[in-house]
Amino acid sequence: MECMSLLGFAACAPDPEFRASLPFPSVDINRDAIPPLLRRRSSQTMQLAFSAATLACKQAQRSPETLPSVFASVAGEIQTTDLLCTELAKPDGVISPSVFHNSVQNTVSGYWTIAQHCIQPASALAAGCDTFAMALLEAWCQLASLGGELLLVCYDENWPKYLDPGRGEPAFACALALAAGAVEGSLLQIGRPHLGTERFPADWESLVANMPVLAAIPLLELAATGGETTNIAISPTSGWLVKINLL
């Protein structure tokens, strides 16, 4: 496979000031993206991911139930996990089965497939500062092996402030509808993720250090604004990059 094509994308950020600073369209959380029966138990993580994923599928004119998916998050359900640990530290140590059920890394991917009546494969991964890079690599491997199309969703909610002061904000999610090979009408073509020497854009470096999933910003900016064929860094620390062909 020579490339994968970007069919559509979307971004979600609940902080209005941060949304306004982004060089591509971004929306607030849309709670209507979650079915009512799931909405009452939804975390900020789930709300972010569903909002971006639903909009990306709409832009790409693809039905969510037809797409395999890759969900990637540095901290997953960190607020729920923190609540779980806090309750376990109390003398009685009683925890809610629902809280435990919703504390795992694949909570969002599981609920997504349920909500969309999707029986396609769904992956959930985390890779620290390289989470976005590894998500793109996973998408590449699946498309190169199996062909077709898939949905990639990368997201993180705000982390509890006392766990890692100064990091874990702002909350953000992005979703990319991707296809194997060159597809007519796609927004851009993405080469195989690989290691190189491309420097991550200095304008976003400090922000991405605080919230690693924001490493998607340079790619999303190109998708929105266009430009020339170029290499862009997709990790702020380890040298992962992709070649982008603008159409």
125 within a domain of the structure (yes/no): yes
244: pLDDT strictly greater than 80 = yes
3: pLDDT strictly greater than 80 = yes
Domain holding 19: CATH number? Answer: 3.40.47.10
58 within a domain of the structure (yes/no): yes
236 within a domain of the structure (yes/no): no
pLDDT one-digit tens code per residue, 142-171: 999 999 999 999 999 999 999 888 899 999
247: pLDDT strictly greater than 80 = no
Range among 28-37, 149-158, 231-240 with highest mean pLDDT value: 149-158
Say if strands 194-195 and 188-190 run parallel, antiparallel, or are unpaired: unpaired
136 within a domain of the structure (yes/no): yes
Mean pLDDT of 183-210: 95
pTM of the model: 0.95
As a whole number of Å, the end-to-end CA separation of the chain is 18
* pLDDT value of position 205: 94
Residue range of the domain that includes 122: 4-185
Helix, strand or coil, per DSSP, at residue 163: coil
Task: Tell me how many domains the chain contains.
Answer: 1
75 within a domain of the structure (yes/no): yes
Q: Are 211 and 48 in contact (CB under 8 A)?
A: no
Cβ neighbours of 37 (radius 10 Å) = 9
pLDDT one-digit tens code per residue, 76-91: 999 999 999 888 888 8
198 within a domain of the structure (yes/no): no
* pLDDT value of position 238: 87
